[in-house]
Amino acid sequence: MRVLVTGASGRLGRVVLPRLRDDGFVVRAASRQRRADPEWVTLDLATGRGLAEAVDGVDAVLHLASAPNAGRRTRAVDVVGTRRLAVAAGEAGVGHLVYVSIVGVDRVPLGYYRHKLAAEEVVRSGPVPWSVLRATQFPEFLDELLRTVSRWGPVIGDRALLAQPVDPGEVAGRLVGMLGAGPSYAVEDFGGPQVLRFDEAVRAWRTARRSRRPLLPVRIPGRLGRALRAGALTTTVTPTGTRTWADHLADTYGGTGGK
């Protein structure tokens, strides 16, 4: 089976490409940047440049490309670009479109999440048989967030916010399985093995980094805060991944600690 992977140079794309090849898929990787590798094609979903060539002759599309928090470009890529992709894939006779979304897109009042939810609807109503996988947050995202909010002093955040980090390698494995199984016409959740409060995640992060930076609790107000504290970023669906936040911290920081 020949598979087009959009957003192939992103965090999940870099993990899923070798998994697909190891499982016998013929991979055509796509990104905005031109590569010398003949297995890569140049594709800009915001303009449609390279789209016809990208979908030509493929059996399935794994759609990872996204432009989070990029202003007007987010809608241009995530909604309009997904519509372009679905139409072009339908015209090319593609048999399966797998779209990667986020757990909570239907519950978290953020602009980016609304765009992802709209893209899901584009896929579901489009001409290509489909499957959607909603994943919880990657531990790398939480790690980067904690680094950012603690850059100038204490770790700032809502201690009661709930998160469920999932390893991108395990998400990649689930996506490979979905491609092999064929279209499900369903939206599936996939999360990590543990639901953590923000203060629990911070405590483990501080220990791994040997950091003395305290947590400065700041309650997120309004609908957004209520949704995040109620678990809008988590799922009760099983099976889940197996790698924990502690596993990520051990792999990232080992026993050397950080600053």
pLDDT for the residue numbered 255? 54
Mean pLDDT, residues 151-158: 90
pLDDT for the residue numbered 110? 96
Structural domains of the chain, count: 1
Mean pLDDT, residues 140-161: 93
Which domain range does residue 24 map to?
2-253
Rounded Cα distance between 96 and 116, Å, is 19
259 occurs within a structural domain:
no
Rounded to 5 degrees, what are φ and ψ at 63?
Answer: -100, 100
pLDDT averaged over the chain?
95
Share of the chain above pLDDT 70, in %: 98
42 occurs within a structural domain:
yes
258 occurs within a structural domain:
no
59 occurs within a structural domain:
yes
The 10s digit of each residue's pLDDT in 20-69 is: 999 999 999 999 887 767 789 999 999 999 999 999 999 999 999 999 98
26 occurs within a structural domain:
yes
Length of the chain in terms of residues written: 259
Distance of CA 12 to the CA centre of its chain: 7
* Whether the predicted pLDDT of 221 surpasses 50: yes
Mean pLDDT, residues 83-106: 98
* Whether the predicted pLDDT of 139 surpasses 70: yes
Identify the CATH number of the domain in which residue 102 sits: 3.40.50.720
75 occurs within a structural domain:
yes
pLDDT for the residue numbered 259? 44
What are 161's two structure tokens? 């916010």
* Whether the predicted pLDDT of 202 surpasses 80: yes
Rounded Cα distance between 131 and 230, Å, is 27
pLDDT for the residue numbered 238? 93
232 occurs within a structural domain:
yes
Count Cβ atoms below 10 Å from residue 182 Cβ, excluding itself. Answer: 12
